[in-house]
Amino acid sequence: QVQLVESGGGLVQPGGSLRLSCAASRGILRIYNMGWYRQAPGKQRELVAAITSGGSTNYADSVKGRFTISRDNAKNTVYLEMNSLKPEDTAVYYCNADPPFALPSWGQGTQVTVSS
């Protein structure tokens, strides 16, 4: 079972930046496809960014050019760098791991609020 813990959320002004971290307390993340999702109140959870075990990345159109997903296998951690933040980026952000031959795992979520 993969166990994930997100951190790095908080309150930031529009145009600001945050870096979210997803650390594994159990599991070896280097062999998993990983993703960051977000969910705003009253909305469906949506994929923000994904990275495969081979390092290929994909982003939602709404965050392309502003967000970057990366992984540090030595630290067993996946990151989401968020730049030029907008109020519409406000949401709870969740880390996801997709192990082979197992159900996906989710972290507890970290709140990101973009407001003046």
- The answer to whether 32 and 99 are in contact (CB under 8 A) is yes
Each residue's pLDDT tens digit, 1-41: 789 999 999 999 999 999 999 998 877 788 899 999 999 99
Distance, in Å, from the CA atom of 63 to the CA atom of 98, rounded to the nearest integer, reads 22
**Average pLDDT for 69-86:** 95
Contact present, 49 and 63 (Cβ < 8 Å)? yes
Instruction: Give me the pLDDT at residue 73, please.
Output: 87
pLDDT for 100: 81
pLDDT at 58 over 80: yes
What pLDDT score was predicted for residue 87? 98
3-class SS string, the chain: CCEEEEECCEEECCCCCEEEEEEEEECCHHHCEEEEEEECCCCCCEEEEEECCCCCEEECCCCCCCEEEEEEHHHCEEEEEECCCCHHHCEEEEEEEECCCCCCEECCCEEEEECC
Q: Check pLDDT > 80 for residue 42.
A: yes
Q: How confident is the model at residue 106 (pLDDT cuts 50, 70, 90)?
A: very high
| Average pLDDT score, the chain | 94
Residue 67 has pLDDT above 90, yes or no: yes
* Tokens 């992984």 -> residue: 71
Cα separation, 57 vs 35, whole angstroms: 9
Quote the pLDDT of residue 25: 82
